Amino acid sequence: MTQTVEQAWDILAADWQRLQSQHLRDMFANDPDRFDGFSFSLDDLTIDFSKERIDAGALAHLFDLARAADVEDSRDAMFAGKHINTTEDRAVLHVALRGSPDDGYQADGQATADLVDPVLSAFLQFADDVRAGQVTNAKGVAFKDVINIGIGGSDLGPVMATRAMSKFSGEGPNVYFVSNVDGAHLRDATRDLNPETTLFLIASKSFTTQETMINAQAAKVWVENSIGVEASKAHFAAVSTNLDATSAFGIAPERVFGFWDWVGGRYSLTSSIGLSLAIAIGSENFRAFLDGFRDMDQHFKNTPLERNLPVLLALVGIWRRNIMGCATVALIPYNQRLENFSSYLQQMDMESNGKRVTKDGAEVATKTGPVIWGDAGTNAQHSFFQLIHQGTDIVPIDFMITAQPTSYLVEQHDLLTANFLAQSHALAFGKTAQEVRDELLVAGDDPATVEALVPHRTFPGNRPSTSILYSSLTPYSLGRLIALYEHKVFVQGVIWNVNSFDQWGVELGKVMANQLAPMLDDGADLSGLNSSTRGLIENIHALK
């Protein structure tokens, strides 16, 4: 019998009533081969859900929920180029950025390959020419440094991926990023650089993004003051669709690379927004990056739900958020070069699914997007893991690691891996009061001291985590990992019935900032403001 979404939720709630009192220690004791039933692979990529507080029956019921919510039809609609971004009446086709002509993607009846391939070839050629010293300043000197100026999707993805792929930079120029409208960001980035050998990439689709354009103007002044107005034109390129604005800024048309309204900012890393990454790693590595995305796209598109990695990751996330009631998720990559991965996924997940109304404008019936946060292991163990192990809130974790070391320091990778394994084990199984008591008594502590210490050194365990393992951090594996989370976010948005591809919540603050900016002038009329804002402005004036 076909279930409704409401019925599916009710069944899952009953599953939690059954499982809530069960400890992961008992689940593993009752099923010693639990890993075999709750781990899933795609080539070298393995995701282990065995330390989640779930069983086979609950997982089956999560698949029922996905089908009741029409996840498969919604997935097909996205790949078919239908306008699933309903509030902006747009297709959602970031998958076409890394597709092949054989995939047959179309946007409004036009083959996307006819649009994507020429732009891809153009910006990759530009990237290689910058790396080879063939794109030069007015004196014919190669650029040593490149600064990407953007914000949000025009910054977070390139920052994360460029850092992650630093091993593949070879002899390319240094690549830096400026996003914050705080002038200190641009000042710090340029402090030790030579304007004569610095190239700026201005990344703004509309070429009107306030923070980006203020920084771009400041960068322009910095270069012009050093080498003059005319010579400075060689120091700028843009990622934008506003050719009039880029021309007015002084950027030649052949140095402007566009993308399309069916590409959302937080999904744009594989478009020309990735130009800074392409300059950092070169076109060959960038194409391998795209191949990793496409591999996961095809897996998501064609694999049945029960073996579909993004679907599984999404459904376990639904279980955590809606059934267990966990409000946050920590992403902990045991790889220092992925230190920005959680920040990147914050935007992807929270800007996509941080919604309180459904596609129809009604109040959502369930909790939606969790708070995403994290840091690289092992650093995270020495900052916030105390709360995760012994705090009063349950914080599920996605752990990630490569089997192969990222550097030549193999022994350090073994220690890193041991910590990766130890943390998920400790969170799942904890340490009982009796185990603590026995350990301290064996160590020779007197019984009174032991009993005083037992509560402090007991770990409840039963704290869920997922482990993601793959062979090595390469452009291909990074692309596949990002796409895994892109599609996970999509599936969860479908189940919550929200539009994952608009971001009206981002706009309100921008509008109000534009309204308040003139009121920071001396003598501005503050009478229409609330007392808090008025008082703060008055104090700002006094402190200046």
Q: Name the residue ranges covered by the structural domains of the chain.
A: 5-68+303-429+463-496, 94-287, 506-543
Query: pLDDT at residue 406 above 90?
Result: no
Which of 142-151, 406-415, 490-499 is the least confident region? Answer: 406-415
CA 374 from chain centre, in angstroms, equals 11
Written as one letter, the residue type at 231 is A
**Banded model confidence at residue 409, pLDDT cuts 50, 70, 90:** confident
Per the listing, tokens 């001396």 go with 522
Length of the chain: 544
Q: Is 524 exposed, middle or buried (0-12, 13-18, 19+ CB in 10 A)?
A: middle
Residues in CB range of 390: below 8 A, 6 or more apart: 459, 460
**Banded model confidence at residue 241, pLDDT cuts 50, 70, 90:** very high
The mean pLDDT value of the chain amounts to 96
pLDDT tens across 360-370, in order?
Answer: 999 999 999 99
Question: Tokens representing 134?
Answer: 């063939």
Q: Which of 82, 139, 510, 538 is catalytic?
A: 510
Q: What is the pTM of this model?
A: 0.96
Taking the C-alpha atoms of residue 377 and residue 449, their distance in angstroms, rounded to an integer, is: 33
pLDDT tens across 255-264, in order?
Answer: 999 999 999 9
**Rounded mean pLDDT, 487-511:** 94
According to the model, what pLDDT value does residue 1 have? 59
The CATH homologous superfamily of the domain defined by 94-287: Glucose-6-phosphate isomerase like protein; domain 1 (3.40.50.10490)
CA 357 from chain centre, in angstroms, equals 23
List the beta bridge partners of residue 237. 201
According to the model, what pLDDT value does residue 2 have? 78
Taking the C-alpha atoms of residue 296 and residue 388, their distance in angstroms, rounded to an integer, is: 31
Per the listing, tokens 């478009």 go with 271
Contact 333, 312 (CB under 8 A): no
According to the model, what pLDDT value does residue 408 have? 80
Instruction: Give the residue ranges of DSSP H helices in 351-468.
Output: 352-353, 385-390, 410-429, 433-442, 447-457
Q: Is 287 exposed, middle or buried (0-12, 13-18, 19+ CB in 10 A)?
A: middle
Q: Which backbone phi and psi does 539 adopt, to 5 degrees?
A: -70, -35
pLDDT tens across 156-194, in order?
Answer: 999 999 999 999 999 999 999 999 999 999 999 999 999
Provide the pairing of β-strand 45-48 with 39-42.
antiparallel
Query: pLDDT at residue 410 above 90?
Result: no
Say what percent of the chain tops pLDDT 70.
100
pLDDT tens across 459-493, in order?
Answer: 999 999 999 999 999 999 999 999 999 999 999 99
351 part of the active site? yes
Cis before 136? omega within 30:
no
pLDDT tens across 346-387, in order?
Answer: 999 999 999 999 999 999 999 999 999 999 999 999 999 999
Helix (H) or strand (E) holding 45: strand 45-48
DSSP 367: -
Residues in CB range of 400: below 8 A, 6 or more apart: 331, 332, 333, 334, 335, 338, 341, 467, 468, 469, 481
Per the listing, tokens 């391998």 go with 288
299 part of the active site? no
Q: Which backbone phi and psi does 40 adopt, to 5 degrees?
A: -140, 145
Question: Tokens representing 353?
Answer: 């699914």
CATH code linked to domain 5-68+303-429+463-496: 3.40.50.10490
Q: In what order do the strands lie in the sheet with 174-178?
A: 174-178, 145-149, 198-203, 236-239, 256-257
Query: pLDDT at residue 113 above 70?
Result: yes
Query: pLDDT at residue 269 above 70?
Result: yes
Question: Tokens representing 508?
Answer: 């309100």
According to the model, what pLDDT value does residue 506 have? 87
Cis before 378? omega within 30:
yes
Q: Which of 94, 351, 389, 488 is catalytic?
A: 351
* CA-based torsion, 157, 158, 160, 166: positive or negative: positive
Q: Which of 82, 139, 382, 425 is catalytic?
A: 382
According to the model, what pLDDT value does residue 137 have? 96
Q: Which backbone phi and psi does 425 adopt, to 5 degrees?
A: -65, -50
From 240, 283, 279, select the one nearest 258 (Cα to Cα).
240
Taking the C-alpha atoms of residue 24 and residue 414, their distance in angstroms, rounded to an integer, is: 26
Taking the C-alpha atoms of residue 107 and residue 110, their distance in angstroms, rounded to an integer, is: 5
From 421, 400, 317, 308, select the one nearest 366 (Cα to Cα).
317
82 part of the active site? no
Residues in CB range of 311: below 8 A, 6 or more apart: 66, 71, 300, 305, 487, 488, 491
